[in-house]
Structure 1
């Protein structure tokens, strides 16, 4: 929606040329609707128009909670898989497979809910499975990017990072499963004391990390979080995270994946969406494969 109320922020979606009104977004109605995408596949979409000016597979900008995004696959997009710019739109039962950059990206005040999400990075392409910011020019800008995320499976190819969370990003993330990455989650800030944010305003809990690399020692020029110790934060027993258990996903091939784990992965009951999904990951051990019959993984 365009911003037509005095005092409300308006911006432009990256990738849309100045002068094209389709790039405008903003407004103050958290309940607005941008329409419905349900049982939809978006394949081989997106493009880099110029440096730092890209079209994602799916961009959701300033959309409210009246928007329906359910059973959506974004496959082999040229930039990020799905990116939220502000708004309160919710997302459920989504697969982001083979993105050229980040999988799930969010910025500029997105406060929606996301449940039952898969990000599958393919060999030789892709960056972070999740990359989320608030606002680089003002990390405390309101409304803060502050989604609720549960039941998410992240599959790497031995490359890339599980997540980069930065620039004032806040979130409550539970029931995450991440396997086969080169680096674990990285929290970054140049303005805020992350020790004051974690775990009250930003947390990842009740989650499984298997073969995701080690937390690096960030000192000197490599210190991007003013001394925050991610290793201590994520392995704190109070966060209930597991770095030892192999989820034994059924198949992580790029043409016929099966993301159902071979072992039970206990989690916590989400506070939103399907509150009965008290297991980690987008699929339950022994449960229904909700991707069957509509998702596809073509190579070209």
Structure 2
């Protein structure tokens, strides 16, 4: 007869095996690579999902405050940072927002959101992963005292707080956005206004830092700059439902390393205008943008433009790649912008245009007789050898129209050239290539950007 020990041994071994399997499954279920795998309130730390404590934010911030990465913050309403308070957000912090909620740092206050490549700060929808949509919440805004050209300018927000924009301080410091993602914003506010975009910068001066930022699936513009002198570096706008970057109201700053991906509902890649009420208003919008990539949706239609000048906006755009728009690569509209173009003040140079319109060669928006607003009819000045513009040349992206994982790196063959000039003073002079990314380096988007479908 077998001993009791021999009878029990298999059972004990079986139980041990079951427990080991159970523990293994538990570990596997908790394993992660990114925060996206841990739900809206979880965080991926050391390869495992950790559930953070949720902190509801229901009132304005009126004193210096720090938000920490061991909490997940839930915006229940439109929350203002009120002068003279500073809101500091630690690397790796996640901020969720309910419908029509948002975060606005008002004039005289500061927002300091400094993430890291391995620990970005993320603003996103409070809805469950898989159910999120463009316009789930309002967005993120910083407001300052730098000059704008609109009289009595305010953010059109119903609030007892002072939401006015602008002043006379060109260097005004609104704060810092570094390694920050803003997802699913752009919702209409309770007053019916779409006052906030994905990221809104209004009256921010040159001491403001905005670099390594991404907006994704905004229901309006991805990034909007209203006046001021703020400079943008390493900025990504993906699948905005209006413009990727919209600048107006007297912005006189710079941008370098700008990546824009459009989807089926997107309008313009970059829109540059002065002021609708007074196209000659001062200070006049004068955008200076180098090293940009704009990728359209590549479909039949005539909705999208890569670069759109209107309402008297001025600018210099150079070292760019513009591909895949169903409408045109460049559109200059309205008598004021046409006049500025003929004066040589609407500049697009050293830029590659590829695959625009139904034929793939409709790089310019033509003037159509009878249209309410005329377009520039003669784009020959943008096609001379002196401009350095290139047309119909494939930049060599591996998979540019992939909405879930765009490939930003072009081939070197047509995007680097010994004759290409260096970007001028105030820009990184080593970026002697077309587009936002060096053909010979890893993309600067690695490790901190994300492209969730919902």
TM-score (norm 2): 0.61
What's the offset of the Cα at 1:200?
A: 3.0
Find the aligned partners of 1:169 and 1:221 in 2 and give their Cα distance. Answer: 23
Structure 1 residues 197 and 262, CA gap change in structure 2 (3 angstroms): closer
Quote the residue 1:126 is aligned against.
Answer: 266
What's the offset of the Cα at 1:53?
A: 3.1
Find the aligned partners of 1:29 and 1:8 in 2 and give their Cα distance. Answer: 15
Structure 1 residues 199 and 262, CA gap change in structure 2 (3 angstroms): farther
**Which whole-Å deviations, capped at 9, do the CAs of 1:183-240 have from their partners, x for residues lacking one?**
22111123x3734544632100000000122134414212734x63353232222212
Could you tell me which runs of 5 or more consecutive residues in structure 2 were left unpaired when the two chains were aligned.
Answer: 1-106, 108-143
Q: Quick one: higher RCO (CA 8 Å, sep 6+), 1 or 2?
A: 1
SS in 2 for 1:47: coil
Quote the residue 1:178 is aligned against.
Answer: 322
Task: Count matched residues.
Answer: 294
Which deviates more from structure 2 when the two are superposed, residues 129-138 or residues 82-91? 129-138
1:81 aligns with 2:222: yes
Find the aligned partners of 1:3 and 1:282 in 2 and give their Cα distance. Answer: 30
> What aligned pairs does 1:1-300 form with structure 2 within 5 A after superposition?
1=107, 9-14=151-156, 16-17=157-158, 19-21=160-162, 23-49=163-189, 53-122=194-263, 124-158=264-298, 160-182=304-326, 183-190=328-335, 192=336, 194-198=338-342, 200-213=344-357, 214=362, 215-222=364-371, 224-225=373-374, 228-252=376-400, 253-264=402-413, 265-266=415-416, 267-271=420-424, 272-300=426-454
Quote the residue 2:89 is aligned against.
Answer: none
**Which whole-Å deviations, capped at 9, do the CAs of 1:61-88 have from their partners, x for residues lacking one?**
0000000001000011111000000000
What's the offset of the Cα at 1:242?
A: 0.6
Which deviates more from structure 2 when the two are superposed, residues 256-265 or residues 149-158? 256-265
Name the larger-Rg structure: 2
Find the aligned partners of 1:4 and 1:110 in 2 and give their Cα distance. Answer: 10
CA contact (8 A) 1:9 1:27 kept: no
What's the offset of the Cα at 1:150?
A: 0.3
What's the offset of the Cα at 1:51?
A: 6.0
CA contact (8 A) 2:186 2:218 kept: yes
Find the aligned partners of 2:146 and 2:371 in 1 and give their Cα distance. Answer: 43
Find the aligned partners of 1:165 and 1:20 in 2 and give their Cα distance. Answer: 34
What's the offset of the Cα at 1:249?
A: 1.4
Could you tell me which runs of 5 or more consecutive residues in structure 1 were left unpaired when the two chains were aligned.
Answer: none
Superposition CA RMSD, Å: 2.3
TM-score (norm 1): 0.90
CA contact (8 A) 1:99 1:126 kept: yes
